[in-house]
Structure 1
Amino acid sequence: MTSRIPLSVLDLAPVTQGSSATEAIRRAVDLARAAEGWGYRRYWLAEHHFVAVASSSTPTLIALVAAATEHIRVGSAAVQLGHHRPASVVEAFGTVDALFPGRLDLGLGRSGQRRAEALSAVASGRRVTEPRPEQWVDGLLIPEPFPMEQLLGSPRLATMTRALEFEGAQHQDFADAVDDVIDLLAGRYEIDDLDVRAVPGEDADIEVWIFGSSKGQSAAVAGANGLPFVANYHVSPSTVLEAVEAYRSAFRPSSAPGASGGKPSLTQPYVVVSADVVVADDDATAAHLASTYGHWVYDIRSGHGASEYQDPATAQPLTEQQRRIVDDRVRTQFVGSPATVAERLETLARVTGADELVITSVTHDFEDRKRSHQLLAQEWGLRQG
């Protein structure tokens, strides 16, 4: 079989209809053990709050997964710096690294700052999302972007944000926050000419990653610092190509081998691209298992947040209006037999120039989700063990 780029797993630890957060956490650990055996390179966990996703305390769940596995890299996808101070992030990951050195990926995202900037743009009458027509690029669908203005006005989203932040707190600029994380890891962080040391955290063997969905600040920060970059096709498929291009344009080689500070030594850009997949023995079965994905995305985009993932055997069909809201995400989900999905993933990797792909797969039944990952690993030719 032709050699393919590495595959990794992004787990949202979803709470499915009829289950619980406790079950979702246990399933995350179970899936991580299995993914390690199937040959996946990394196991990343997403940070979400006040929704039917059980990975809200990401460093805690990362520690549990690291303890239950042996060698797979474990990390965050991503810690939202709008909700955390750099010092608390470095201390948390440094604590886990003390027992599992050299296995942690510290993925960082903008979150709170990005939302504040978008709200400011809306208030001043500026567009947040620039409309553009759908296009196909060498076999890859780049859909028309979803207008984020619709989601920004959600009262529930505003309430959840308030619950995560101190009243009156100002968002630290993302570039400055990333610098602080790197400096804390390197032991060179200062405030008013006084050394401030992260204990634990300083000199931890942690790789720092940047996650982004557009050509904006995240891509620029990743490139300027010579850090690896993750472009979110599964969240924002309309902007994946411009995000990757912006990162590559901004890239500057990072520190030499052996340098400290949690920065991997990169002499050239390293791009990971995400994809949402459902794999089953045949296309028809996969389509059935994926048929409530649109319901899940609709709840998110209507401002309610991720709800319990519905059972396709009992879920009511989406209305035409609901389908229009989720069309870009449903059509860019890779659904089918192992051969079907692998072919589409190869297209995604070729068009984006990805060095690695990270896949997320959500189904109502956990055994179907495990099998989705297993079938893809086998088809992709990952080395088992």
Structure 2
Amino acid sequence: MNAVNPVPLSVLDLSPVSKGSSVPEALRNTIDLARHVEAWGYKRYWVAEHHFVAVASSAPDVLIGAIAAATRTIRIGAAAVQLGHNTAIGVVESFGTLDALYPGRIDLGLGRSGQRRAEALTGTDPEPAPRATEIRDGLIIPPPFSPAKLLSSSRSAASFGILQQPGAQSPDFTQQVEDILAFLDGTYTAPDGTDLHASPGEGADLELWVFGSSAGPSAELAGRLGLPFGANYHVSPGTTVEAVEAYRSAFRPSPILRKPYVVVSADAVVADDDATARELASTYGHWTHSIRSGHGAIPYPDPETTPPLTDEERALVDDRIVTQFVGAPSTVAERLDTLRRVTDADELVVTSVTHGHEDRLRSYELLAREWGLARVRAA
């Protein structure tokens, strides 16, 4: 492609722990990657929130502070804080602290977690209608995957149970987001009429995002409140397009945004040639299978020692494998541009996971150069 593209690229880092590695090494790799992608011209560096799995991003606010301290200009944020086991005031105070220390650089992404599990248990989150794989203007849209079985598993119950105080229930997501907005602008009033003010937090220059995987409450809420929206093609490729459409349909101008703003995620592995990239990405299906089968993300497998998936294992994760963008720089950039065109994304956020850290660095560097990011220079 080798031309300046119409949208910026950003990074989503899960801080994966590779097989044979350790959590401290994964965290050092995250800091190292953040420094590099800042130099290569990526716009943002987001970290996820996951618990009880082989990734090191379980405390996003702490990790964001470490990344911000190691960088100078790139925006740093969470994609996303899981509100099902966090309070609105706790989120505002922790991210308000980050903004006070690193003003104008912090993004606060919000996502549902405990709320989705409650819906799965009660049947209020409807099963997606089965359909065949669709190719829309070159973009693969596979059948949607239902997380209901995963969310209702015993492991899920144990995980969510320990993340909350005994007897606690996940509060309403809409109310939490509205409370966060009220704390930030200083208008929060408790149910008994008491004015409460967050310090740090009130007046913080945070960029607030809502993330979602389908045309459900998250997309509609982001649109109604006039907030930017993150759609997760790398997690739920079968429902991303409809999530974006629902957000735009619900959008109302706000003091934050006059028109919709959408970032769409993609999982990508870039190497000097297609064959090398396919080899580096060959254990992505194994890693995804460990998540979807209910065991939780395993240490990222080494392609050199990992046997192929069985047909049964492949069937569970095929939608994620065929929608991963793998190849030489021109191959991946072309597919990313297709994702941008079909979703009309204002920005793309890329997550690249490989067993070796140097391969992951190379993936982001090659993509930045091919995409035409301003700070990348030819080798």
The two structures have a TM-score, normalised by structure 2, of 0.97
Q: Which residue of 1 aligns with 2:94?
A: 92
CA RMSD of aligned residues (A): 1.1
Matched residue SS, 1:358 = strand
Unaligned runs of 5+ in 1: 256-264
- Would you say how many aligned residue pairs link Structure 1 and Structure 2? 373
Instruction: Give the letter for the 1:48 counterpart.
Output: H
Matched residue SS, 1:237 = coil
The share of aligned pairs that are identical, in percent, is 62
Measure, in 2, the Cα distance between the counterparts of 1:289 and 1:95.
Answer: 39
**What is the CA distance between 1:127 and its match in structure 2?**
4.4
Matched residue SS, 1:43 = strand
**1:107-256 matches, cutoff 5 A:** 107-121=109-123, 127-191=126-190, 192-255=192-255
Q: Determine if the alignment matches structure 1 residue 292 to structure 2 residue 283.
A: yes
Q: Which residue of 1 aligns with 2:313?
A: 322
Q: Determine if the alignment matches structure 1 residue 66 to structure 2 residue 68.
A: yes
Residues 157-177 of structure 1: per-residue CA shift (max 9 Å, x gap):
211111101222122111110
Measure, in 1, the Cα distance between the counterparts of 2:101 and 2:350.
Answer: 27
Measure, in 2, the Cα distance between the counterparts of 1:149 and 1:172.
Answer: 19
Q: Which residue of 2 aligns with 1:45?
A: 47
Q: Does the 8 A contact of 1:151 with 1:301 survive in 2? A: yes
Query: Residue 268 and residue 164 in structure 1: after superposition, are their counterparts in 2 closer, same or farther (change >3 A)?
Result: same
Measure, in 1, the Cα distance between the counterparts of 2:82 and 2:324.
Answer: 24
Q: 1:11 aligns with which of 10, 13, 30?
A: 13
Q: 1:306 aligns with which of 297, 310, 318?
A: 297
Measure, in 2, the Cα distance between the counterparts of 1:338 and 1:77.
Answer: 25
Q: Which residue of 1 aligns with 2:36?
A: 34
Instruction: Give the letter for the 1:203 counterpart.
Output: G
Q: Which residue of 2 aligns with 1:77?
A: 79
Unaligned runs of 5+ in 2: none
Q: Determine if the alignment matches structure 1 residue 351 to structure 2 residue 353.
A: no
Measure, in 2, the Cα distance between the counterparts of 1:310 and 1:16.
Answer: 7
Mean Cα deviation higher: 23-32 or 139-148? 139-148
Q: Does the 8 A contact of 1:76 with 1:106 survive in 2? A: yes
Residues 285-324 of structure 1: per-residue CA shift (max 9 Å, x gap):
0000000000000000010111100000001111110000
Q: 1:360 aligns with which of 332, 346, 351?
A: 351
Instruction: Give the letter for the 1:27 counterpart.
Output: N
Residues 110-152 of structure 1: per-residue CA shift (max 9 Å, x gap):
1110111111108xxx843322221110100000122323323
Matched residue SS, 1:194 = coil
Matched residue SS, 1:37 = helix
Q: Which residue of 1 aligns with 2:370?
A: 379
The two structures have a TM-score, normalised by structure 1, of 0.95
Matched residue SS, 1:180 = helix
Mean Cα deviation higher: 345-354 or 156-165? 156-165
**1:14-25 matches, cutoff 5 A:** 14-25=16-27
Q: Does the 8 A contact of 1:118 with 1:128 survive in 2? A: no
Measure, in 2, the Cα distance between the counterparts of 1:353 and 1:183.
Answer: 31
Residues 226-274 of structure 1: per-residue CA shift (max 9 Å, x gap):
000000000000001110000000001111xxxxxxxxx3110000000
**What is the CA distance between 1:79 and its match in structure 2?**
0.2
**What is the CA distance between 1:193 and its match in structure 2?**
1.2
Matched residue SS, 2:249 = helix
Instruction: Give the letter for the 2:215 counterpart.
Output: K
Q: Does the 8 A contact of 2:117 with 2:152 survive in 1? A: no
Q: Which residue of 2 aligns with 1:258?
A: none
Matched residue SS, 1:195 = coil
Measure, in 2, the Cα distance between the counterparts of 1:149 and 1:51.
Answer: 19
Q: Does the 8 A contact of 2:13 with 2:351 survive in 1? A: yes
